[in-house]
Structure 1
């Protein structure tokens, strides 16, 4: 028998589950996230195996969903210096790299920038050729000042040849193993947003190296030595560790995505809104054909606008550890701050001195945690009013995720689900499962390997069917690189968007495929 181990690291809790070949959950655990992350992962692994007689050597696949890349950007820590080569002169000098960035984040990346000759027009016409000598001169000036390079070409979503050409020059000057990010492999249309995402990807190389090596070492230390290792992507799929090391930006948003996929598995619903209530936030996402709906607008990551694929998530400050602030005039406010992973020492029911939404749930008789006597003094009218406030906030958030009128199915998951009201306006039915508290880890464990590709095609020059087939094949190649088994890869989504301002019946084609894990993929 072969088993799969899934781990999801959240801001408050680290969850782990073990599934068998038939996707039955055999063991689960929830432990507090630690400040160093790694020790919390190790504790979760030890605990989940303590609940079962499964031999650790029988685990063939292990998956990790992590927020470490997100945290590094938000906290402006552990980022490496990046050289930004924009291949788009003379067309783009008016808006230099790092326009509108937070100065603290720029300082954390310590960038070098250059806009060199190159680029294409929106219809594929050449703006300027690449001057390789110019690129070499810039790279020599940067020698010893940058730890990674981000290469960004104008309309490289249409033609990535110049980015590849510049990458070859970087390899000649700095060596073939020097870390490089190409914007054509990361972002979509929109030069600045794609550039921003590519810079962040390069800045995260050291963080992802620590994550991948730490994950592998944690497993090895506890005796899981024969498993293929994967990280969770933000579209609900997996990628092998070596692929993740090239594209750390794709781990951002994977936490909520894991919960959405886990919710789909537990509820057996293909289309619904998912509400994941954790210890710090409530994350809302939308299930479309069993996968998270992607955001159609530029996504803000740590204060930077980007346009790489991200789930459409709405997060609000409602969680089990959310603080209820009482004011001298008798009013109150809910959050947005939370006691987070310190809830067992801060919340009233655990002997602390902070009124949290968990305390309110216990006071209302909705949960039996800690010592209920420690919240007996909380005014019942206050608790009921707090619950009504939470109800209104959740209803507003649910409405914001709808694309059409009418009531919707809602899947409620997460360790903080006890704070949710029994009914919600605008919701047809609330679906819950006893394993909902570890839905994020389940989502990580059941995930398939994914691949995505996007390109603009002129249907006047290329037959539509040929264009769709080309995009599908390119997405399949991405899935294979990420660790999918070739014969299992299938198309799950294809979108075509007409580009009104472009000639020649130009259409943006986006293909997404998924496949089963290739067990020969090694961490």
Structure 2
């Protein structure tokens, strides 16, 4: 180690679980010995005052091992206490929080707490205020901080008596030049001495709502976290330990106690990570990936350990207590199998779990004198473990024991199959108190290891945790190569690891991810994680913080488990009917949009986006809140248009990455106003969407609402899907030259009108170049069109189609039939002659690159082996896929372009291509995956839908929207099936 020699070689690891507190003393330098360097270990029930439980456990291992205190190099604690307080909505441990958002022109339409559970909101929401500020995606300043505004907000917060403040600014994670959040923090601390101020860029990464959510949770739990960490330190002082104290983070790295007290959310889900790291250490697994199965009392958690020694992480967004956040968490698959799982015998089979006696195992299990047959009883009866009274299970039928063991084996094999990303067997490491339940062989396991001390692997993992440094940065690549940009980010990550206490020579780059920023020229987002060994010689100074170790000033009362606020149950899609009424003035049947409709439309639009179009999540919230405020939205059939109707249409242009930070705003409304002013139009008759796919499918409802123009939305659009460019429309196919005049607006005071153009393509190219200079997202209003063009050239009833697809997903959730949601969608869009399930499998490769501002790349999906197929009864209703086995490759340019199958014998074939729709559904949730969500390991179902004949009835349609338009001249379009026009919601549900 650097920094000279030391006799401090022993590390103590502690895992504070909901039931037990485990502690180990370990000397990592003795890992190769039979003892794995474990000098002592101890398990004790977790106490309501966690300090006493920790003190008891550590005192026991010190006495057992006779280790002098001056040999202890570090104490590391992994705990679930902080996340439990949030999950339980424990008001004793959560504070009300004030939020200050920084952006002059954005962030108002989708406020904080927009998608939180009502119970947590009622406990935590304290105040929301806005100040000028914010950045653009290129790092330039949207607006400077105005100190007087911050002072005014502070006065309002002071009146409310709030003591926790979150500061969140647009694009703050890339704010190196202006330090806006830090500047506001300084002002708040000056105006409100003694409050806790959380700046969002220190908590999480790009994605404003998720970063803000994580920061709010962090602020709410902060006081309790500080009190808990002070308790940990008091326990150490009582034991006369002067070594540094750490807490483990979700990603398997260390956080010094001062930092953990300030950012406790980083420790929320560290327990599973500790078990996986401990499994690798105890088994001596040092190369390649491995699957770790942690079998507890109630559940088994299955995850993948990467060659870096860290767990494979979950997708970009995860949910904690119903709140969407974007901090790093391990990707786990959990099943209801543990030592306390209840075993039920029937005439033909044996069921094991998912219900469990839990921590009452020693009271209820047969071997402990109880009356419930558990998985532990089966293990004792089978001679796998010596526990309790073996005579108590002597009467169990041998066939029942065999059947139960076979069921346990099948459950574990299925869980391993779910988490794997290829059919090849992988090493499997078994840990946890229930590891003895597992058989000696499992399908899918190249080797099965149950290491020594497996029941305290979580505490071992805490003890041997490494130090990490993470960087998430957007850089320009106009004046440097991509390699140089990545190398710069690596250097930053390494330095952060050193600053956190890693030995520089031991640091390795554990993860590298480079994502081109779509629609933005020469911008690259790079995420780097560096990890290294702890330098114990430099750590003691990090224990210094400003917290007094005096007694707690606010003793906690007893937990109050009373339900405070209950969310309204969702509307049952099996009985829900949309409201369609006749307009008394015009005689036209109008579909009046309700909150349920908006939810269905959002999910359906994302499916029709073919992985592009941007997520409709923020738009859904914006429109939902408008409906709750009393605004109206309505849809009409194209056949109801007057012959001389003046129809406006448009939507968003730009980068989804910008939308992730600016959220939803009013750019499209401003663009409409600008074009109306230029054309001297006071109003118009109806509004139509540019594209039904993605977030743009919802944009017409904003401008058509009673909040703004109060005009109906036409049930149709100009694509029937999503495409990457403005000119790839059926209007440009059949009536070229109808895109100008048009306008774009940035939402912060910049508007451009384009009045003439030599071709439709140049319109898109010119506007896209302007969009890049205007913040990389604009609202667009196109040249008004006519009833004749809408009915002859538009793709009709696509709003109805999106609604029906969304209802399919809601229906599957309600009826627990998510495994067949793709079949339901096929039926809804016209049946097998119109749509097909192309392939089922797992994403095994994702490639992304940037070219001329667009996100290009591809995903590769591997077919599922027979052992990986869902064996549930639902799977019997599955529609056969067009092909099985082999791999499917789907290139994308913002949207999916074609699907090429490669059979196991190497034969290649094209299953579908643009302009037909190719959607990739997450098999678990039934929802669409967009390009940003494509992630290694996801189980997916690939759906193909025949496009409107508006694209295929002329050569121009294929030239503009076919494979050749994307540079794939070698791919010959072949129609997937017959087009079936979507059924009109208005026609079906109108009250005659």
Query: What displacement does 1:146 show?
Result: 1.9
Report the Cα distance in structure 1 between the residues aligned to 2:187 and 2:205, rounded to whole angstroms: 24
Aligned residue for 1:17? 24
Query: What displacement does 1:495 show?
Result: 2.6
Aligned residue for 1:108? 123
Aligned residue for 2:409? 391
SS at match of 2:242: coil
SS at match of 1:292: coil
- 1:25–1:333 distance in 2 versus 1, CA, 3 Å: same
Aligned residue for 1:46? 59
- 1:21–1:426 distance in 2 versus 1, CA, 3 Å: closer
Aligned residue for 2:426? 408
Alignment of 1:244-255 (within 5 A): 244-255=260-271
Report the Cα distance in structure 1 between the residues aligned to 2:409 and 2:103, rounded to whole angstroms: 50
Do 1:11 and 1:340's aligned partners in 2 also have CA atoms closer than 8 Å?
A: no
Report the Cα distance in structure 2 between the residues aligned to 1:35 and 1:351, rounded to whole angstroms: 27
Query: Does residue 1:291 correspond to 2:304, yes or no?
Result: no
Report the Cα distance in structure 1 between the residues aligned to 2:385 and 2:312, rounded to whole angstroms: 32
Aligned residue for 1:37? 50
Aligned residue for 2:528? 510
Do 2:429 and 2:450's aligned partners in 1 also have CA atoms closer than 8 Å?
A: yes
Report the Cα distance in structure 2 between the residues aligned to 1:386 and 1:111, rounded to whole angstroms: 52
Query: What displacement does 1:508 show?
Result: 2.6
- 1:374–1:39 distance in 2 versus 1, CA, 3 Å: farther
Q: 1:138 aligns with which of 153, 163, 168?
A: 153
Report the Cα distance in structure 1 between the residues aligned to 2:147 and 2:414, rounded to whole angstroms: 54
SS at match of 1:165: helix
Query: Does residue 1:68 correspond to 2:68, yes or no?
Result: no
**TM-score normalised by L of structure 1:** 0.92
**What per-residue deviation string (whole Å, max 9, x for no partner) do you get for residues 369-415 of structure 1?**
01112223444444433333332322222122112222111111111
- 1:272–1:487 distance in 2 versus 1, CA, 3 Å: closer
**What per-residue deviation string (whole Å, max 9, x for no partner) do you get for residues 213-251 of structure 1?**
121122222x24222111111111111101111211111
Aligned residue for 2:170? 154
Do 1:12 and 1:32's aligned partners in 2 also have CA atoms closer than 8 Å?
A: yes
Report the Cα distance in structure 2 between the residues aligned to 1:447 and 1:492, rounded to whole angstroms: 14
Query: What displacement does 1:333 show?
Result: 4.8
Report the Cα distance in structure 2 between the residues aligned to 1:450 and 1:103, rounded to whole angstroms: 36
Q: 2:435 aligns with which of 404, 411, 417?
A: 417
- 1:463–1:166 distance in 2 versus 1, CA, 3 Å: farther
Alignment of 1:225-304 (within 5 A): 225-269=241-285, 270=287, 271-289=289-307, 290-304=309-323
Query: Does residue 1:320 correspond to 2:339, yes or no?
Result: yes
Query: What displacement does 1:490 show?
Result: 4.6
- 1:135–1:199 distance in 2 versus 1, CA, 3 Å: same
- 1:186–1:94 distance in 2 versus 1, CA, 3 Å: same
Query: What displacement does 1:98 show?
Result: 0.8
* Larger mean Cα displacement after TM superposition, 354-363 or 386-395: 386-395
Do 1:64 and 1:231's aligned partners in 2 also have CA atoms closer than 8 Å?
A: yes
Q: 2:459 aligns with which of 435, 441, 445?
A: 441
Query: What displacement does 1:488 show?
Result: 5.0
* Larger mean Cα displacement after TM superposition, 509-518 or 94-103: 509-518
Q: 2:112 aligns with which of 68, 82, 97?
A: 97
Query: What displacement does 1:273 show?
Result: 0.9
Query: Does residue 1:376 correspond to 2:394, yes or no?
Result: yes
- 1:91–1:216 distance in 2 versus 1, CA, 3 Å: same
Do 1:357 and 1:419's aligned partners in 2 also have CA atoms closer than 8 Å?
A: yes
SS at match of 1:291: coil
Corresponding pairs, count = 520
- 1:103–1:48 distance in 2 versus 1, CA, 3 Å: same
Query: What displacement does 1:501 show?
Result: 3.1
Do 2:283 and 2:452's aligned partners in 1 also have CA atoms closer than 8 Å?
A: no
Do 2:28 and 2:464's aligned partners in 1 also have CA atoms closer than 8 Å?
A: no
Do 1:12 and 1:340's aligned partners in 2 also have CA atoms closer than 8 Å?
A: no
Report the Cα distance in structure 1 between the residues aligned to 2:360 and 2:354, rounded to whole angstroms: 16
Do 1:349 and 1:375's aligned partners in 2 also have CA atoms closer than 8 Å?
A: yes
SS at match of 1:157: helix
Query: What displacement does 1:281 show?
Result: 2.1
- 1:135–1:378 distance in 2 versus 1, CA, 3 Å: farther
Aligned residue for 2:671? none
**TM-score normalised by L of structure 2:** 0.50
Query: What displacement does 1:304 show?
Result: 1.0
Query: What displacement does 1:505 show?
Result: 3.9
SS at match of 2:65: coil
Do 2:349 and 2:403's aligned partners in 1 also have CA atoms closer than 8 Å?
A: no
Do 1:11 and 1:280's aligned partners in 2 also have CA atoms closer than 8 Å?
A: no
Query: What displacement does 1:486 show?
Result: 5.4
Query: What displacement does 1:67 show?
Result: 0.8
Higher relative contact order (CA 8 A, sep 6+): 1
Query: What displacement does 1:126 show?
Result: 3.5
Report the Cα distance in structure 1 between the residues aligned to 2:469 and 2:453, rounded to whole angstroms: 29
Aligned residue for 2:511? 493
In the alignment, structure 1 segments of 5+ residues that lack a partner are: none
- 1:28–1:263 distance in 2 versus 1, CA, 3 Å: same
